[in-house]
């Protein structure tokens, strides 16, 4: 049954619709007898009766839609860009060192980084639009990627892209895969720069183009470098005071120490906080089992305990902790396999791991459909990477966005204006067209690659 209020609304809408239909000279599929037909020679929108959008001689469109009540409704006029093709005319790359504010960052297996080697890509077009992207591997020992490899790959792939239309994101993504097999982390900054150009070309933010903005901002996690349990607990307390509510502990070391790390940090948290113990593939299965059993009473997520998918799945099936996969999920195939096995509750989608925003968006949308929550981020980077992350994270349904990250707050060098800045442990994507960043050319210096 339709409520009375709703019924009145429907009736009044029908009355208004009928009036509109008579004024348009049509009612349903029958023409009204007392209303003169629209003159096909003079009507400015000759396709109106065909229920299609119409284009006047001036290039101003007047979309026409047919309502379920068979009424023709004219939507506001929207100016369309004339059809033309943008062309990539030049690709430049800049190498930028990004020192860490904390001095160094340590994770499983004794691995560490103190200065990130980041590559910023600039794509210029024949129309004067310029887009930027960034690629920054977490050292050469995290994923199959390394900093100099980004630039070597660009030198290989870049010449094939001159003359291509950067706004044709899908065809360009497939073209890159055909021109260079694999190496998603090389393609990622190019793909991000193309999204930046696409946004500028139509006056919309990348967030809008990736599906639209959910809420006002997105929640950030803080990665806690591997140190002693006491030092990590102290760090968490400090970042908690700065507004962070989600923490990712770097464990994956000695299992007994890791148990103490998790307990020491958990003691610092308050209701509503989220704690993740990320082993970054560092445990063998027996270590992982000991840890998850020893912290069975702690509210903690377990992330990527072991090196292989099969090892992780084994641990997943022996613990009640919420489970996160990261390093072993690098494409749609592995994502769907893990979803089918119920191997994770949360997945970490890093933009460069998938090959750019285009493929990360596909993974994001699949996860959203499958009910798998996500951490959306990248391997590392500065302002431009943080901007790209923010656009993908902010266009992710709120319930499914477990957390994201503000890498630009970890480093001492700012490479662009306009990048998101953290407020109370949260950030928001820019509403400006494209990524909304303006690179600081004085920081970028001279290009190390110039293809034209």
Please report, as ranges, the residues that interact with Mg ion according to CB under 5 A: 278, 326
Does an H or E element contain 349, and which?
Answer: strand 346-350
- Comparing CB distances to Mg ion, the nearer of 196 and 326 is 326
Distance (Å, whole) CA 18 – CA 24: 10
Eight-state DSSP code of residue 77: P
Query: Which one of the listed residues 250, 268, 353, 359 is annotated catalytic?
Result: 250
Question: What's the min distance (Å) between Cβ of 303 and Mg ion?
Answer: 5
Question: Which regions of 129-245 does DSSP assign to beta strands (E)?
Answer: 130-135, 218-219, 221-224
- Comparing CB distances to Mg ion, the nearer of 125 and 304 is 304
Question: What's the min distance (Å) between Cβ of 438 and Mg ion?
Answer: 31
Distance (Å, whole) CA 112 – CA 429: 29
Question: What's the min distance (Å) between Cβ of 318 and Mg ion?
Answer: 20
Question: What's the min distance (Å) between Cβ of 234 and Mg ion?
Answer: 22
Closest listed residue to residue 312, CA positions, set 340, 356, 280, 348:
280
Distance (Å, whole) CA 348 – CA 326: 5
DSSP structure string for 362-375: HHHHHHHHHT-EEE
| Burial profile 42-62: b = 16 or more Cβ within 10 angstroms, e = fewer | eeebeebbeeebbeeeeeebb
Return the bridge partners of 93, or none. 121, 449
- Comparing CB distances to Mg ion, the nearer of 196 and 278 is 278
- Comparing CB distances to Mg ion, the nearer of 26 and 353 is 353
Distance (Å, whole) CA 318 – CA 272: 26
- To the query of whether residue 250 is one of the catalytic residues in this protein, the response is yes
Query: Which one of the listed residues 164, 235, 350, 359 is annotated catalytic?
Result: 350
Q: Which residues contact 25 (CB under 8 A, 6 or more apart)?
A: 31, 32, 35, 36, 37, 38
Residue nearest Mg ion, CB atom distance: 326
- Comparing CB distances to Mg ion, the nearer of 396 and 405 is 405
What is the torsion angle, in degrees rounded to the nearest 10, for the CA atoms of residue 307, residue 311, residue 312 and residue 313? 150
Question: What's the min distance (Å) between Cβ of 316 and Mg ion?
Answer: 15
- Comparing CB distances to Mg ion, the nearer of 194 and 265 is 265
Which pair of structure tokens corresponds to residue 380? 């590392």
Question: What's the min distance (Å) between Cβ of 304 and Mg ion?
Answer: 5
Count of CA atoms in the C-beta half-sphere (13 A) of 369 = 8
Instruction: Give catalytic residues, as residue numbers.
Output: 250, 350
């Amino acid at each position: 049954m339709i409520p009375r209020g709703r019924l009145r609304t429907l009736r009044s809408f029908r009355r208004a619709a009928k009036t509109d239909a008579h004024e348009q000279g049509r009612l349903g599929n029958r023409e009204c007898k007392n209303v003169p037909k629209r003159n096909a020679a003079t009507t400015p929108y000759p396709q109106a009766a065909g229920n299609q959008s119409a284009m006047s001689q001036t290039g101003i469109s007047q979309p026409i839609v047919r309502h379920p009540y068979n009424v023709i409704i004219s939507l506001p006029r929207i100016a369309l860009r004339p059809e033309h093709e943008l062309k990539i005319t030049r690709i430049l790359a800049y190498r930028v060192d990004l020192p860490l504010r904390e001095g160094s960052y340590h994770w499983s297996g004794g691995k560490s980084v103190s200065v990130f080697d980041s590559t910023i890509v600039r794509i210029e077009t024949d129309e004067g639009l310029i887009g930027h992207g960034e690629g920054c591997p977490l050292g050469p020992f995290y994923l199959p990627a390394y900093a100099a490899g980004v630039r070597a790959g660009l030198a290989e792939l870049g010449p094939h892209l001159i003359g291509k239309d950067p706004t044709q994101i899908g065809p360009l993504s497939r073209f890159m895969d055909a021109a260079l097999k694999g190496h998603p982390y090389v393609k990622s900054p190019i793909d991000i720069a193309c999204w930046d150009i696409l946004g500028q070309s139509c006056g919309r933010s990348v967030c809008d183009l990736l599906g639209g903005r959910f809420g006002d901002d997105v929640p950030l996690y803080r990665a806690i470098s591997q140190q002693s349990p006491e030092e990590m607990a102290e760090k968490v307390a400090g970042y908690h005071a700065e507004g962070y509510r989600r923490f990712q502990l770097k464990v994956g070391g000695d299992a007994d120490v890791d148990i103490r790390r998790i307990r020491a940090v958990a003691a610092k948290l308050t209701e509503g906080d989220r704690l993740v113990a990320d082993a970054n593939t560092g445990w063998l299965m027996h270590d992982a089992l000991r840890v998850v059993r020893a912290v069975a009473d702690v509210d903690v997520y377990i992330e990527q305990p072991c090196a292989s998918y099969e090892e992780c799945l084994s641990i997943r099936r022996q613990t009640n902790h919420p489970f996160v996969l990261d390093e072993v999920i690098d494409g749609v195939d592995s994502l769907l396999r893990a979803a089918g096995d119920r191997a994770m509750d949360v997945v970490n989608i890093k933009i460069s791991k998938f090959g750019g925003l285009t493929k990360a968006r596909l993974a994001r949308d699949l996860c959203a459909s499958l009910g798998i929550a996500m951490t959306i981020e990248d391997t590392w980077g500065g302002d431009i990477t943080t901007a790209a992350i923010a656009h993908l994270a902010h266009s992710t349904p709120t319930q499914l966005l477990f957390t994201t990250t503000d890498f630009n707050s970890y480093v001492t060098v700012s490479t662009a204006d306009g990048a998101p800045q953290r407020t109370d442990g949260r950030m928001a994507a820019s509403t400006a067209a494209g990524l909304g960043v303006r690179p600081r050319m004085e920081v970028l210096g001279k290009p190390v690659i110039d293809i034209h």
